[in-house]
Structure 1
Amino acid sequence: MMLCSFQLLKKECAYMILKIQKAVARGPLKVTYEKYLHPDQSSVAAIEANDRLPP
């Protein structure tokens, strides 16, 4: 039972991270997003968010 609960929690967390990743470019974290678009920060913000979680 505990394992099932942990798996559900992981999935909920993954959806929350995906939602945040999609919204960060236009929200209050826009400055941070723009910082990580630069090549000196490895352009990690340029990696597009998935539309949904993989199966």
Structure 2
Amino acid sequence: MTDYATRRTMMVDTQIRPSDVTKFPIISAMLSVPRENFVPRNKREAAYMGDN
């Protein structure tokens, strides 16, 4: 089973924060919204990849 919470945190730390996003409400939303629930099941593994 994939640990999406860890992937979310890694996405914020490696993609969002380095892009100079510093507003707490935006970072909080990015950490709490389960992106994997908004893509087809067969694409969930790519929900947090930076190149998609």
TM-score (norm 1): 0.28
- The structure having more radius of gyration, on CA atoms, is 1
Structure number with the bigger relative contact order (C-alpha 8 A, sep ≥ 6) is 2
TM-score (norm 2): 0.29
